[in-house]
């Protein structure tokens, strides 16, 4: 890597393109990473939209050829925010070109593609990263630290759910509802985050999917004729024609962790009244934590080792740099709260820290790590399809 800079090529724009671009713009303003990002090239298919995006977000160059961006000898890091079904092609191409690669989650649309990516990463000289950005919420990073310190003790039970309501009947047939592009619906889009967060906090792995149910509630959607809001479809023109939605709207499953703990997972994009409720509870013999992303600056902790008369849920505002809450020292005074975009900035800081040969605040997921999540996604799909338990040891 030349000097103390890292030339970045971003593949894709839209929702995650904005989130990642904002992170590259802001990271060196609040952190002091050993290498600084240079927003070198952005690549996307629609040339007119691409040029507007590049100008607005400060990318120096733009191209409609992702291969051109990846092959550029000036590029050090390739950041992939394209739809799931092209992650493998883009990531493997970048790794073969000798680049470091950061890829949006889930790792791929299918287990086979994810395996190819993990195998390519194992052979490559470049480092890999996956944008499971909720690890970079101070509350989640703090929960990870507490669990590592043994404050929860032996884990008995996990409850995780991710609830949204944006995908009702009027939402058009964007790529997120097309199985051949997305791979899955609420499972890969939302539940993958919960699975990764549970693994990250507990250090434990799902050993068996005991039972799963996946349901496509809205089977026909209006065909999207022009681009608009990627999530809500606001401002998007649609035709009167409809096409099939081929992904799950709702998924629920019960799992056993390697430690023996039981876990329940739920994800839906049809939970009327919930906008982005990423919720998690972990219960152990010494304590428990609970978290809700809609109150992302708070972590609830129950300390069962206290005298019984003092036991009760405590709400910790995890924005105190003096208290060594993760990432808080880079931002504002205590209780001057953070938002969604800060999780991406925090992760960008950690990526640049690793590329500079130093240790991140908390562990970053690479392709090998994210492949473990993909195996769970596959097991859930198989369990739902065949109505049978699936052991992770049977999935390679």
Query: 1 pLDDT band (50/70/90 cuts)?
Result: very low
Please tell me whether residue 149 adopts helix, strand or coil conformation: coil
pLDDT of residue 48: 94
Q: Does the pLDDT value for residue 36 go beyond 50? A: yes
pLDDT of residue 239: 75
Q: Does the pLDDT value for residue 234 go beyond 70? A: no
Q: Do 338 and 319 touch, CB atoms closer than 8 A?
A: yes
Report d(CA 368, CA 116) in Å as an integer: 11
Q: Which fold has domain 5-133+367-371?
A: Rossmann fold (3.40.50)
Report d(CA 169, CA 269) in Å as an integer: 11
- Which residues make up the CATH 3.30.360.10 domain(s) of the chain? 144-332+374-384
Query: 230 pLDDT band (50/70/90 cuts)?
Result: low
Q: Does the pLDDT value for residue 263 go beyond 50? A: yes
CATH number for domain 144-332+374-384, candidates 3.30.420.10, 3.40.50.10470, 3.90.1300.10, 3.30.360.10: 3.30.360.10
Q: How many CA atoms lie within 13 A of 161 on its CB side?
A: 14
Q: Which of 50-59, 235-244, 251-260 has the lowest mean pLDDT?
A: 235-244
pLDDT of residue 373: 98
pLDDT of residue 167: 97
Q: Do 280 and 291 touch, CB atoms closer than 8 A?
A: yes
Query: 396 pLDDT band (50/70/90 cuts)?
Result: confident
Report d(CA 274, CA 64) in Å as an integer: 37
Report d(CA 247, CA 181) in Å as an integer: 10
pLDDT of residue 232: 45
Q: Does the pLDDT value for residue 92 go beyond 70? A: yes
pLDDT of residue 3: 55
- Which residues make up the CATH 3.40.50.720 domain(s) of the chain? 5-133+367-371
Query: 233 pLDDT band (50/70/90 cuts)?
Result: very low
CA angle, 11 as apex, 56 and 8 as ends, to 5°? 75
**Rounded percentage of the chain residues whose pLDDT exceeds 90:** 94
Please tell me whether residue 127 adopts helix, strand or coil conformation: coil
Pairing of β 287-292 and β 298-303: antiparallel
pLDDT of residue 75: 98
């Amino acid at each position: 890597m030349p000097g103390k800079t890292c030339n970045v090529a971003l593949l894709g724009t839209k929702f995650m393109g904005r989130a990642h671009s904002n992170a590259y713009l802001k990271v060196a303003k609040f952190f002091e990473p050993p290498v600084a990002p240079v927003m070198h090239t952005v690549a996307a298919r629609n040339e007119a939209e691409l040029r507007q995006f590049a100008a607005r977000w400060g990318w120096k160059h733009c191209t409609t050829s992702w291969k051109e961006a990846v092959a550029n000898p000036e590029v050090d890091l390739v950041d992939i925010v394209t739809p799931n079904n092209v992650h493998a092609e883009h990531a493997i191409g970048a790794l073969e070109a000798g680049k470091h690669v950061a890829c949006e989650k889930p790792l791929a649309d299918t287990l086979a593609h994810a395996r190819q990516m993990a195998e390519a990463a194992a052979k490559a000289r470049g480092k890999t990263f996956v944008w499971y950005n909720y690890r970079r919420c101070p509350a989640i990073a703090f929960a990870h630290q507490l669990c590592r310190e043994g404050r929860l003790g032996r884990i008995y039970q996990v409850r995780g759910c991710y609830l949204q309501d944006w995908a009702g009947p009027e939402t058009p047939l964007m790529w997120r509802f097309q199985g051949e592009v997305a791979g899955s619906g609420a499972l890969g889009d939302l539940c993958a985050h919960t699975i990764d967060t549970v693994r990250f906090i507990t250090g434990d792995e799902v050993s068996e999917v005991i039972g799963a149910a996946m349901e496509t509630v809205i089977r026909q959607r209006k065909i999207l004729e022009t681009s608009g809001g990627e999530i809500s479809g606001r401002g998007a023109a649609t035709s009167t024609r409809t096409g099939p939605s081929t992904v799950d709207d709702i998924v629920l499953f019960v799992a056993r962790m390697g430690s023996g703990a039981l876990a329940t997972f739920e994800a839906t994009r049809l939970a009327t009244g919930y906008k982005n409720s990423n919720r998690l509870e972990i219960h152990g013999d010494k304590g428990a934590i609970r978290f809700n992303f809609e109150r992302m600056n708070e972590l609830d902790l129950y300390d069962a080792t206290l005298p019984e008369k003092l036991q009760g849920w405590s709400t910790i505002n995890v924005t105190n740099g003096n208290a060594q809450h993760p990432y808080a020292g880079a931002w504002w005074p205590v209780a001057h709260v953070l938002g969604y975009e800060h999780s991406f900035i925090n992760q960008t800081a950690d990526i640049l820290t690793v590329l500079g040969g130093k240790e991140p605040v908390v562990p970053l997921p690479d392709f090998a790590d994210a492949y473990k999540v993909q195996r769970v996604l596959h097991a859930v799909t198989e369990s739902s399809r065949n109505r049978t338990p699936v052991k992770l040891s049977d999935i390679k």
